[in-house]
Structure 1
């Protein structure tokens, strides 16, 4: 690989702002890498969309990240992963790292033998989740809990509102009554609710977020394909959204923990595009 290619950015995308939880883990694991993040909030949530729509959006965003010159892509969305990852990997010329509900580590760590999985309806109904349950659920009980409404709350940065708490109590209560001692966060939006989930489930229930494992897998893939990054400046994170820039900037800044500038994806006859001027 050339030096320019080695120093190319990594592209990360999600149906909305949830993938920021993965971006945060990538930033911690790979602090020298430039990152491009695309929040497809204009079309969120994916969990209630049909498969063709999700696959089309995943393809569109992957193409625009490739046009922006990324050297790897992280699909920071469980729903997009279960619907579109095989098709993306079939043609994408750069490494593609994706999410997977952390059912395996949950099954290996539970002491009560009951694991709860919080995710969107689309993710839970996927062959991928069925495969994981079949592989790791032989000797334990895996309870799949769809969580309509939670993504929308995170998209509004309503992390501690009464509505968000009511939804979480509704979804977590049956898992706790069944004896779950491990909760899998099967949507990248849900780590932003981890503090509220902890209040509800108490200190003795493990909460598993796969973001760190994804960041480590990305690092492993890059190490096998690229030389170490060298820079004379600090690494940058650029943010893009399919919603209006002003609104997106407020939400993403709140969740990222510092004020950031978010660019609205430029429109053209080919669909959304990353504005190269924004990467300057």
Structure 2
């Protein structure tokens, strides 16, 4: 197997971060990438802050042990809740993914926006503090638990049952907009949710949806290196979230990648 040259490590608890892998590959074609789908840790959104730090710390140390020069924590929830603590534990560049609250407010006509994310993030004090800093009294920001929609991606329903997925997203958006009718911009602040963007846009065509991954590329630029442009994928698994199913999802997405199994982290 060809050695990777100063790869960038990219990880979260499943298929969600593959979108960021694609973005990094497109913008930095010579960058070597090691992609970890730590499905044994799914879901991040149900973990306490201490559990989150344990999970992402183990994944980060695994990637650094494989020679990664920088690591992208490709999940909004741990980026908000434990990124600072992780940086204190690890002596290496750690790039997080954060909800673009300021961009959402700037794009909003009503100055009423929403952050869609997993429960552990939107209910955390860290998230409330982050919103207070980013909002700067420029509008209203609703924090919305979208954890049920994450499962539509992780169990691959969005690929296997698009009609059922559309119905689920439609119900979610109808209830949200009935409760918050003036919201006109939403951030898809779980790495899983951008996979559902077409479903969101069909369900709520008057709402603009922002992808937090856009800021990652600028943060990565100082650590970009010229390798052979290799992307390698490894994954953990559980009895319910198998390597076989994960590789079937990669194939359904048109990806040439196939993951190999790792028992670490």
TM-score relative to the length of structure 1: 0.84
The answer for unaligned runs of 5 or more in structure 2 is none
Per-residue CA distance 1:141-161 (angstroms, 9 max, x = gap): 212210132121101222153
Distance 1:258 1:47 in 2: 26
Distance 1:53 1:133 in 2: 23
Are 1:9 and 1:71, in contact at CA under 8 Å, matched by a contact in 2? Answer: yes
Report the alpha carbon displacement of residue 205 of structure 1 after superposing the two structures with TM.
2.1
Write the mapping of 1:69-148 to structure 2, written as runs, cut at 5 A. Answer: 69-135=67-133, 136=135, 138-148=137-147
Report the alpha carbon displacement of residue 212 of structure 1 after superposing the two structures with TM.
2.0
Report the alpha carbon displacement of residue 169 of structure 1 after superposing the two structures with TM.
2.3
Are 2:97 and 2:215, in contact at CA under 8 Å, matched by a contact in 1? Answer: no
Are 1:156 and 1:251, in contact at CA under 8 Å, matched by a contact in 2? Answer: no
Aligned counterpart, 2:257: 260
Secondary structure, counterpart of 2:16 in structure 1: coil
Distance 1:116 1:73 in 2: 28
The change in CA–CA distance for 1:171 and 1:132 in structure 2 (over 3 A counts) is: farther
Aligned counterpart, 1:211: 213
Secondary structure, counterpart of 2:229 in structure 1: coil
Per-residue CA distance 1:73-114 (angstroms, 9 max, x = gap): 000011221232112211322211001111111011111221
Are 1:182 and 1:207, in contact at CA under 8 Å, matched by a contact in 2? Answer: yes
Per-residue CA distance 1:194-233 (angstroms, 9 max, x = gap): 011110111x3211001121122111x326xxxx52x4xx
Which sits farther off after the overlay, 98-107 or 154-163? Answer: 154-163
Distance 1:91 1:133 in 2: 25
Are 1:34 and 1:237, in contact at CA under 8 Å, matched by a contact in 2? Answer: yes
Distance 2:130 2:84 in 1: 16
TM-score relative to the length of structure 2: 0.88
2:188 counterpart of 1:185: yes
Secondary structure, counterpart of 2:55 in structure 1: helix
Aligned counterpart, 1:194: 197
Distance 1:173 1:114 in 2: 17
Moved beyond 6 Å, runs of 4+: none
Aligned counterpart, 2:166: 165
Report the alpha carbon displacement of residue 174 of structure 1 after superposing the two structures with TM.
4.0
Are 1:22 and 1:215, in contact at CA under 8 Å, matched by a contact in 2? Answer: no
Secondary structure, counterpart of 1:18 in structure 2: helix
The change in CA–CA distance for 1:168 and 1:137 in structure 2 (over 3 A counts) is: farther
Per-residue CA distance 1:160-204 (angstroms, 9 max, x = gap): 5344333322332244342211111010000000011110111x3
Distance 1:184 1:72 in 2: 26
Per-residue CA distance 1:34-59 (angstroms, 9 max, x = gap): 10111111221110122222111111
Measured on the aligned residues, the alpha-carbon RMSD in Å equals 2.0
